[in-house]
Amino acid sequence: MGGTASRRLVIDVSVANTAGPPREDQPDQSRGCAAFLDAVRQSAHLLVMTQDVEREWNASNADYATRWRSAMVSIGKVHFSRAVADSELRAKIKGSVRGASEQQGMLKDAHLIEAAVDTDRRVVSCDDTVRRLYRRVAQRVDDLREIVWVNPTKTTEETPIPWLQDGAPAKPRRMLSYRPPVTPH
């Protein structure tokens, strides 16, 4: 293992729900998420649970999600955070986008950002749509800039397991403040 740092990771329940038994419509995504969660369990990293994150995980009816989280609790790899809804941050987010559907999508996952701000600024989620919205808003909302966001279904592009094994570093290309280079047509 390249890095020995232990990070507190806010893992969206979408990762565990995708990780269940390989689905015909998403076999690579299922395997990618399952391998990532297995790597988290075997690493020094911790799963972050806030009341809102836990509520979302409890609402999941995926067997894999339940079993994995139970295993993490039993081996003492869950960090219980007291992060709560941050009305000031939510107002900044809401004020940075005009479209109601964009606001709704971002506010639906604001609890992930709040938990990340309260811990080690690491979010793991399959939701690239919301990540793109947060990236756009991060240019205007300071609290978002240094949040690292990794999608474990992007095994080739984002190499999530090597990132995890290297100590989950905050490299610029993984941060919400990252602006990918524009390629000429």
In 43-150, alpha helices (H): 51-59, 63-74, 87-96, 100-108, 110-118, 128-138, 142-145
Check pLDDT > 50 for residue 179: yes
What confidence score (pLDDT) does residue 27 get? 66
User: CA 149 to CA 66: how far, in whole Å?
Assistant: 23
pLDDT tens-place string over residues 28-48: 788 889 999 999 999 999 999
Residue found under tokens 């570093």: 169
pTM above threshold 0.75? yes
Check pLDDT > 80 for residue 121: yes
